[in-house]
Amino acid sequence: MVSFTAGSAMIMASDKDQLVVAEEHFETDEEEAASADKEELDTLLVSSLHPPKFIVVENHSVEPRAPWGLWGFYSYSFASEVFAIVSASLFLPITLEQLARDNGYTLPGHEWPCSGSLKSASVGHPSASTSTSPLPHPSSTISAASCEVKLLGAWLDTASFPLYVFSISVVLQALVVASLGDAADNPFMRKLLLIFFAAIGSLSGMLFFFLDSTSSTWSLSAVLSIIANVALGASGVCLNSFIPNLAKTTPKVLEAKSELITLSSPTEDDEHVKTLISNATADISSNGVALGCGSGIMALCLSMLWITSHGGSTDSLRWAIGFSGIWWALFSIPAAFLLPPNRTSLFCHHIVNPFNPTKSCTRYFNMIRQYKQLKNTIRFLMAWFLLSDAFATLTSTSILFAKTTLEMSPSHLILIGVIVPTTGILGALLAPRIQKRLTYCAGLNGSLNMFKLLIAASCLVPCYVSITLIFGVPVLTTEAEMFVLAGVFGLFYGAFQSYARSVYAELIPPGQEAKWYALYSITDKSSSFFGPLVVGVIADYSHNIRYGFLFILVVLLLSFPILNGVDVPSGKLKAEEFSRSNPDK
Instruction: Please write the tens of the pLDDT for every residue from 463-484.
Output: 999 999 989 889 999 999 999 9
Contacts for 104 with CB less than 8 Å, ≥ 6 apart:
113, 114, 117, 147, 148, 149, 150, 158
Rounded-to-integer distance, Cα 1 and Cα 447, Å: 69
Is residue 152 in some structural domain?
Answer: no
* Judgement on whether residues 411 and 477 belong to the same structural domain of the protein: yes
Three-state SS for 157?
strand
Inform me whether the pLDDT recorded for 294 exceeds 60.
yes
Is residue 116 in some structural domain?
Answer: no
How many CB atoms are closer than 10 A to CB 14? 13
User: In terms of DSSP bridges, do strands 105-106 and 154-157 run parallel, antiparallel, or are they unpaired?
Assistant: unpaired
| C-alpha dihedral (91, 96, 102, 103), degrees to nearest 10 | 170
pLDDT of residue 342: 62
Regarding pTM above 0.75, the answer is no
Q: Mean pLDDT, to the nearest integer, of 290-306?
A: 86
**458 touches 582 (CB < 8 A):** no
- Predicted confidence band at 417 (pLDDT cuts at 50, 70, 90)? confident
* DSSP conformational letter for 158: T
Domain that holds residue 18: 2-49
Inform me whether the pLDDT recorded for 127 exceeds 80.
no
Rounded-to-integer distance, Cα 228 and Cα 83, Å: 9
How many CB atoms are closer than 10 A to CB 297? 20
pLDDT 10s digits, 134-173: 334 433 334 444 788 888 888 888 888 998 998 899 888 8
User: In terms of DSSP bridges, do strands 154-157 and 147-151 run parallel, antiparallel, or are they unpaired?
Assistant: antiparallel
> For residue 156, what is the enclosing H or E element?
strand 154-157
Three-state SS for 105?
strand
Who has greater pLDDT, 309 or 42? 309
Q: Residue 118: left (phi > 0), alpha (psi -120 to 50), or beta?
A: alpha
* Judgement on whether residues 545 and 453 belong to the same structural domain of the protein: yes
pLDDT of residue 500: 86
Rounded-to-integer distance, Cα 188 and Cα 345, Å: 9
pLDDT of residue 146: 77
* CATH number for 442: 1.20.1250.20
Contacts for 235 with CB less than 8 Å, ≥ 6 apart:
76, 80, 193, 194, 197, 198, 201
Pick from 184, 174, 180, 226: nearest CA to 205: 226
Inform me whether the pLDDT recorded for 195 exceeds 70.
yes
pLDDT of residue 356: 66
* Judgement on whether residues 322 and 389 belong to the same structural domain of the protein: no
pLDDT of residue 282: 62
> For residue 147, what is the enclosing H or E element?
strand 147-151
Q: Mean pLDDT, to the nearest integer, of 201-219?
A: 89
pLDDT of residue 349: 52
Rounded-to-integer distance, Cα 121 and Cα 115, Å: 8
Inform me whether the pLDDT recorded for 575 exceeds 80.
yes
pLDDT of residue 202: 96
Is residue 558 in some structural domain?
Answer: yes
Q: Mean pLDDT, to the nearest integer, of 365-385?
A: 84
Task: Tell me which amino acid residue 240 is.
Answer: N
Inform me whether the pLDDT recorded for 189 exceeds 90.
no
Inform me whether the pLDDT recorded for 197 exceeds 70.
yes
Q: Mean pLDDT, to the nearest integer, of 200-215?
A: 90
* Judgement on whether residues 348 and 401 belong to the same structural domain of the protein: no
* Judgement on whether residues 403 and 496 belong to the same structural domain of the protein: yes
Inform me whether the pLDDT recorded for 252 exceeds 80.
no
Domain boundary pick from 330, 355, 380? 355
**188 touches 59 (CB < 8 A):** yes
- Predicted confidence band at 383 (pLDDT cuts at 50, 70, 90)? very high
Q: Pick from 158-162, 288-292, 441-445 the range whose average pLDDT is largest.
A: 158-162
How many Å from the N-terminal Cα to the C-terminal Cα in the chain? Answer: 45
Contacts for 537 with CB less than 8 Å, ≥ 6 apart:
160
Share of the chain above pLDDT 70, in %: 73
Q: How many angstroms separate the Cα of 128 from the Cα of each of 133, 176, 197, 275, 330?
A: 9, 56, 56, 78, 55
- Predicted confidence band at 257 (pLDDT cuts at 50, 70, 90)? low
Rounded-to-integer distance, Cα 492 and Cα 454, Å: 6
* Judgement on whether residues 333 and 423 belong to the same structural domain of the protein: no
Is residue 86 in some structural domain?
Answer: yes
Who has greater pLDDT, 497 or 348? 497
Contacts for 175 with CB less than 8 Å, ≥ 6 apart:
357
Rounded-to-integer distance, Cα 154 and Cα 408, Å: 28
Three-state SS for 202?
helix
Main-chain dihedrals φ then ψ at residue 154, nearest 5 degrees: -125, 150
**How many domains, in total, are found in the chain?**
3
- Predicted confidence band at 278 (pLDDT cuts at 50, 70, 90)? low
Residue 94 CB-half CA count within 13 A? 32
Q: Mean pLDDT, to the nearest integer, of 101-109?
A: 83
Task: Tell me which amino acid residue 403 is.
Answer: K
Q: Mean pLDDT, to the nearest integer, of 385-397?
A: 91
Number of separate helices (H) and strands (E) present in the chain: 24, 3
* Judgement on whether residues 333 and 451 belong to the same structural domain of the protein: no
Rounded-to-integer distance, Cα 298 and Cα 82, Å: 9
- Predicted confidence band at 228 (pLDDT cuts at 50, 70, 90)? very high
- The mean-pLDDT minimum among 8-12, 315-319, 334-338, 443-447 falls in 8-12
Q: Mean pLDDT, to the nearest integer, of 115-135?
A: 50
Inform me whether the pLDDT recorded for 54 exceeds 60.
no
Rounded-to-integer distance, Cα 566 and Cα 390, Å: 20
Is residue 135 in some structural domain?
Answer: no
Who has greater pLDDT, 310 or 17? 310
* Judgement on whether residues 371 and 310 belong to the same structural domain of the protein: no
- Predicted confidence band at 9 (pLDDT cuts at 50, 70, 90)? very low
Share of the chain above pLDDT 90, in %: 25
* Judgement on whether residues 483 and 571 belong to the same structural domain of the protein: yes
Is residue 457 in some structural domain?
Answer: yes
**190 touches 242 (CB < 8 A):** yes
Question: How wide is the angle at C-alpha 70 spanned by C-alphas 65 and 76, nearest 5°?
Answer: 140
Rounded-to-integer distance, Cα 37 and Cα 89, Å: 65
Domain boundary pick from 355, 383, 405? 355
* CATH number for 259: 1.20.1250
Exposure string over 392-423, b if 16+ CB within 10 A, otherwise e = bbbbbbbbbbbbbbbebbbbbbbbbbbbbbbb
How many CB atoms are closer than 10 A to CB 271? 10
Q: Mean pLDDT, to the nearest integer, of 487-496?
A: 90
pLDDT of residue 453: 95
pLDDT of residue 387: 94
Is residue 421 in some structural domain?
Answer: yes
Domain boundary pick from 355, 378, 400? 355
- Predicted confidence band at 124 (pLDDT cuts at 50, 70, 90)? low
Main-chain dihedrals φ then ψ at residue 197, nearest 5 degrees: -70, -35
Is residue 123 in some structural domain?
Answer: no
Helix ranges restricted to H, 108-219: 118-123, 161-178, 181-184, 187-206
* DSSP conformational letter for 465: H
* Judgement on whether residues 316 and 396 belong to the same structural domain of the protein: no
* Judgement on whether residues 346 and 463 belong to the same structural domain of the protein: no
* Judgement on whether residues 254 and 205 belong to the same structural domain of the protein: yes
Across all residues in the chain, what is the average pLDDT? 77
pLDDT of residue 443: 79
pLDDT of residue 183: 63
- Predicted confidence band at 67 (pLDDT cuts at 50, 70, 90)? confident
pLDDT 10s digits, 455-466: 999 999 999 999
- Predicted confidence band at 49 (pLDDT cuts at 50, 70, 90)? very low
pLDDT of residue 89: 83
